[in-house]
Structures are given as structure tokens and as C-alpha cells.
A = this chain, B = another copy of it.
Amino acid sequence: MTGKAVKARMVLLYGLALGCLLSVMAWSRYRFMVIDHALEAYVLLVAVLFVGVGIWVGLRWSAPVVVEKTVVRPAPVVPLQPAPEALEQLGISSRELEVLIQLAQGYSNEEIASHLFVSTNTVKTHLSNLYAKLDVKRRTQAVDKARSLGLIR
């Protein structure tokens, strides 16, 4: 890590220096290139525009991920209690819901198993089915999605 950190900083400093250098070069070039202003301005405009596009894309791409897709967002603005057993029509069984509730409370598979008097294998099976029905891959995702769907809490 020692060498690595140093190397990383060297690279960054080099990048900065290079940036400054090239800036100066680019600037000084203007002294000789009087004609190219149109091109420069054009490129600048495009650059600025696409920075905007990039930022937009970046923002869009970073945060959400959660509630879209199959789902449904019953109440767009006012989140009453729009998600009762109606939304269980994802085909979630009662037993699966029990597991889901325990899940949301932060219990481990083993704890859930003992609470429901089954084996951990069974819990894992229920969870797998739940993940498929909720279209998620991890327990934390499942909790988040179930909550946003109003399945729990």
C-alpha cells in the first residue's frame, strides 16, 4: 500500500501537471491560429452540451435501480396503504410472507428457521422463491422492494 499510494499520487500529480501543460500549449496555440475560432467554439459548445448529457446519464444511472421494472407503484404521490394482500398477487404465499417479515427484521436464516420451526434449508428455499417473485438477488434488496411495494410495514 505504501508504494501503491505513492504511485497513485504520482500518477495524479502527473495528470495535473500534464493538464496544465497542455492547457498552456493549447492557449499559446491561439496566438498562431486566428482562423480556427469557429471550430474551437463549436467543439466547446458540443463539449459543454455533452457534459450535461453525461451528468444527466450519470445521475440517472447511479441512484434509482430500485422500484422500477415489474413493479407497480400503486400510489404515485400519496402513499396510503395501497399494498395489502392485493399485491400478494405476485404469487407470494403466506409462508413466504412470514419469512419475508422475519427477513425485514434482520434475522438470519437460522433464526428465521427456528422461529418458524423449520430447517434452514426450507428457509433458503422460501427465500429463493421470494427473490424470484420479487425479482431481486439479495435479502436487502428483497426488503427494500417489499417495503416499496407495501408488502411489509
Contacts and interface: CB of A to CB of B under 8 A. Distances in A.
Given A59-B59, A139-B140, 13 more contacts: A14-B16, A18-B22, A22-B23, A46-B50, A48-B50, A51-B53, A59-B62, A62-B62, A65-B105, A67-B78, A106-B138, A108-B138, A143-B143
Interface residues of A, number: 60
Contacts of A77: 59-60, 63-64
Contact of A140 (B22, B57, B140): B140
Copies of this protein in the complex: 2
Interface of A: 9, 11-20, 22-23, 25-26, 39, 42-43, 46-67, 75-78, 103-108, 115, 136, 138-145
Contacts of A115: 62
Contact of A144 (B13, B60, B105): B105
Contacts of A141: 106
